[in-house]
Amino acid sequence: MTNEIKIHDLNAENFITERVNEIVSAVGQGTAINALSGGVDSSVVTLLGHRALGHRLRTVFVQNGLMREGEAEFVADIFSKLGVKVEIVDARKEFLDALKGITDPEEKREAITQTFYKKVFGRIVRESGAKFLLQGTILTDIDETVAGIKRQHNVFAQLGIDPEETFGYQILEPLIRLRKDGVRVAGKALGLPEEMFNRIPFPGPALAARIIGEVTAEKLDLVKKATSVVERILAGTGAFQYMAILHNDRVTGMREGKRKFGHQIEIRCWDSVDARTASPTKLPFETLEELASSILENVPEVVSVTYNIASKPPSTLEAI
Ligand code: XMP
């Protein structure tokens, strides 16, 4: 089932019809549920599921506190205009509690996965009685998990987890044969607005993937402010993905004429087709200067701003 549909072989209308039919026949007269994160993948799954099941698909946005500022309301508003009701569930405290004291990248990912699937979303699914979960896993997620590069938050089979046994629901993954470029084409054909289907990718572990070391409320606030600046300034570049990363080490700087041990932000901006390989975008130096001054102005805790110039591999796009 995981044989790839390459972009030049993708007929979006046929793809949509086939996936909708599969969802209809799997779910029958039952109900399904899906978690919408606002990323391209989960947005496309939401529209496919909605087309197949209408109100029998319940769409939930889990507010984990790790997303961009204002993200939940922004996403719910876009989908409301498309006729899809999105329920926002506040789970900020549960995620912060689960991440407390954890510094190891894989343990952070694991804590988020467990909190999401076993605690928060598991509870929502159990209470809803839905037996099917629609999920936006794509082929790249599987490749990277199989290759042992990174534990993705959503690839169960490859991790030896039987979701029916562990979580009590069956998973449907309608995008499993596509890569990101194919998902965008399907999204456009489903009527998703361009600001959503052309959105830069955002990782499942969200801003926790961009905080080196322990995730705290204070660090989240800081990385959110830096993210807003980076996304605003780099929006028109056409780059594949751009992000702000908060380092763990403090460095000496100056604020108001006094020495300050401040935070460091690393900016990454990537040229890539499918995220498997990537190189840093050759941004004009004026843009880099604008990024630095705007971050230093809007995030007073920061005293150092750097730009990543390493390619993937050996780098990865995200920092953890
Ligand atoms: P890396 O950092 O592995 O990222 O070079 C490749 C692409 O995948 C995104 N990414 C994730 N997406 N769950 C996701 O859904 C994850 O755990 C995850 N980690 C990374 C990343 O943003 C990039 O586009």
Determine if ligand 1 sits within 6 Å of the CB of residue 150.
yes
Tens digits of residue pLDDT in 100-133: 999 999 999 999 989 998 899 889 988 998 999 9
Contacting residues for 64 by C-beta, under 8 A, at least 6 apart: 91, 92, 95, 112, 115, 116, 120, 206
The model's pLDDT over 279-304, given as tens digits with 9 standing for 90+, comes to 999 999 999 999 999 999 999 999 99
152 lines ligand 1 (CB under 6 A): yes
Q: Is residue 284 part of a domain?
A: yes
Say which DSSP state 152 is in: -
From the CB of 219, is ligand 1 less than 6 Å away? no
CA dist 216 and 92 (Å) reads 11
Is 175 in the same domain as 217? no
Which residue among 62, 110, 317, 320 is best mutated to probe the pocket of ligand 1, counting the most ligand atoms within 8 A of its Cβ? Answer: 317
For residue 5, how far is its CA from the centre of ligand 1 (angstroms)? 20
Task: Determine the distance separating the centroid of ligand 1 and the alpha carbon of 275, expressed in angstroms.
Answer: 8
Of 197, 226, 244, which one is at a domain's C-terminal end? Answer: 197
Q: Closest residue (by CA) to atom 8 of ligand 1?
A: 203
**pLDDT for res 153:** 53
State pLDDT tens for residues 70-93: 999 999 999 999 999 999 999 999
Closest CA to 269 of 226, 223, 238, 300: 238
**Atom 7, ligand 1: residue with shortest CA distance:** 275
Binned at pLDDT 50, 70 and 90, residue 144 comes out as confident
Does 227 lie in the same domain as 187? no
Q: Assign residue 230 the CATH number of its domain.
A: 3.30.300.10
CATH number, domain with residue 14: 3.40.50.620
Of 197, 221, 251, the residue that ends a domain is 197
